[in-house]
Amino acid sequence: MDEQLFFKKLNSLCTSKDIFDFLSSLEVMSDTMASGALQRISEVEVDDNGVKNPEEVLENEVFRALCFQFEFESSKLSNTGLLNALQALIKLRIDPQSTLMASLLSEGEERLGKGQLTVKNLCALGESLLELERPSWAMLEQIVNHMQEKDIEKWSPREMVMVYKMLQVTVSEGEQYQDLLNRMNSVTLTIVSQLSPKFTSIILNSLVVLHQTQAVPLVTALCKHSVKHIPYFTGDELVDVLEAFLYFGHREQIFTEVLETHVPKSIFTMHPQTVSKVMQYCCRKMILSKPIFDAVAEGFISNGDRFTTDQIAEYIIPFGTLNYLPPCASSLFGKLETILHTRFSHFQPHTLLKLLHSCVLIQRYPVNFLPKIFSPYFLQQLQAQPPGLDRTVTSQLTQLFLTVTLECPFYEGPKLLPKYQVKAFLKPHSSLDVHLLKRVKTGLLYLLKKRIYFASDVSTPYFYTVDIEIKLDEEGFVLPAAQCEEVHRRIALCVDGRNRFCVNSHNLLGEEAIKQRHLQLLGYEVVQIPFFDIESLQNCRKMADYLHKKIFPHTYGLSC
């Protein structure tokens, strides 16, 4: 039978039985046709769960006859026939240690060594090896070495992707293939627009694994290109893309906008791990997307029982970090409480602490679980597992304890022992906008005339650090900052730069919101000085006028 006619007929068949019947009717066929038949069998018989009917396929006489010929005549096969058969048999889960597979792999290795394989052949062999549980690293390295000698500009997108995948598993700490990678990165940049969703995610993942931080133009182009593929990525592909955005520190406003359309539509069909990665992306990039967060909350209420403990934490923690309560907050946290009651002991200690700490940031108080958190047994568990009781962990414990002390006076459970409390909370590395603080201090100096009337970066006895503190006596007069007697009122100025808010938003982050809430409960008059109020104030006088109205709203304005 003519090969073209053969493949047309073969590709119209949808069951292995039909394929075997068709093959039985043929008197003779080429090795290309025979390997094509094996490939078609693997296509119809293999799904995500493996081979559908292994016995029906592997015990079939026609199948066994094909395998027999491939095993004992491997040296006579064309490159295409050999490599297509190898790919199909690996998909069909044929034992890699069997004499059939050993024969085909040995023949492939021999031709590789003799330099008889084209770029297409090399990539097909590499793809087959990567599918094996224990691939031959030496063969993969040999393939990559042969590919180095080829003209990269003539590679198809599929071939480019395969070499990236092979490099992922063959490149160790050394930079032996960095020159090849530099050339590949340059050529890939020219074909980005041709890449499918699958190829886009694979290359981005490879760039992460291979630490290609210098390939900025390619990363940027791939991230932009990925936007149009968002509705078509599989869950795993979208996870890889988001991981690349996080690793390379890339943010694309339109990417977030398309996610805001995609996630609400797909929330009930998306895998929880994919949703977790979306939330991690939003959280790390400080992106408060209400459409995404609202949809994720609804998804958690419906399906939270089926999530792993890590997924539960990854769904919920961003709500606290970004200081957002969705419309269905009572149902969301009711669901979380129910899950915690039934699965409390299943959570890793550090995961549990992060989860409960995130809840208090948005005034959701886990009082029913705090006796267990403050128990010596739980604290020992925290200490025994990395990172142990480091400064971040003890800060979270202290803030939990401070929260129930200030905001839950009815709590009568165990207290957090002083030895587990920090003296001061860690200040986030970028929490203070030094330039903005300097402008506010200049305005205050203009307003109060002397520098002695305010202090900056003031440590309080209550763990928090105040950006600027002003003390007043009983009559409302400003006292020198160093004076400790006759202090009637303390004003805490919170100079909130952009980095204390969610991106492109006036929504304070959870850590800053709880700090301002607690300072008020501790007796401070909290005055917020947000960046969006003062960035447009063009001179010192305007800044002083603004500060006067904010800090002393009931006194007369400044004299000229």
Please answer whether residues 353 and 359 qualify as being in contact, where contact means their C-beta atoms are separated by less than 8 angstroms: no
Task: Give the CA dihedral 39, 44, 50, 52, nearest 10 degrees.
Answer: -130
Mean pLDDT calculated for residue range 309-332? 98
**Tens digits of per-residue pLDDT, 381-407?**
999 999 999 999 999 999 999 999 999
User: pLDDT for 369-381, tens place per residue?
Assistant: 999 999 999 999 9
pLDDT tier at 49, thresholds 50, 70, 90? confident
Tens digit of pLDDT for each residue in 180-234? 999 999 999 999 999 999 999 999 999 999 999 999 999 999 999 999 999 999 9
Judged against a pLDDT cut of 80, whether residue 428 lies above it is answered with no
pLDDT digits (tens, 9 = 90+) for 440-469: 999 999 999 999 999 999 998 889 999 999
| pLDDT cut 90: percent of the chain above it | 88
With cut-offs at 50, 70 and 90, classify the pLDDT of residue 252: confident
Model confidence over 472-508: pLDDT tens digits? Answer: 999 999 999 999 999 999 999 999 999 999 999 999 9
* Spatial contact of 488 and 473, defined as CB atoms under 8 Å apart: yes
- Mean pLDDT calculated for residue range 68-76: 92
The percent helix, strand, coil of the chain (3-state, each to 5) is 65, 5, 30
pLDDT class for 559, splitting at 50, 70, 90? very low
- pLDDT tens profile 105-152: 999 999 999 999 999 999 999 999 999 988 888 899 999 999 999 999
Give the residue-averaged pLDDT of 270-276: 97
The pLDDT mean for the chain works out to 94
Beta strands, E only, 118-200 = none
Contact 217, 203 (CB under 8 A): no
Share of the chain above pLDDT 70, in %: 98
What does DSSP assign to residue 477?
P
Q: DSSP for 377-428?
A: HHHHHHHHSTT-S-HHHHHHHHHHHHHHHHH-TT--SPPPPGGG--SSPPPP
Is the predicted pLDDT of residue 336 greater than 50, yes or no?
yes
Q: What is the pLDDT of residue 557?
A: 46
Element (H, E) at 376: helix 376-384
Which of 326, 197, 343 is CA-nearest to residue 262? 197
Alpha carbons 158 and 141: distance in angstroms, whole number:
19
Provide mean pLDDT across the span 513-538.
Answer: 95
Task: Evaluate if residue 432 carries a pLDDT over 90.
Answer: no
Model's pTM, two decimal places? 0.89
pLDDT of residue 427: 73
* Domains (range + CATH), the chain: 1-116 (no CATH), 348-422 (no CATH), 431-552 (3.40.960)
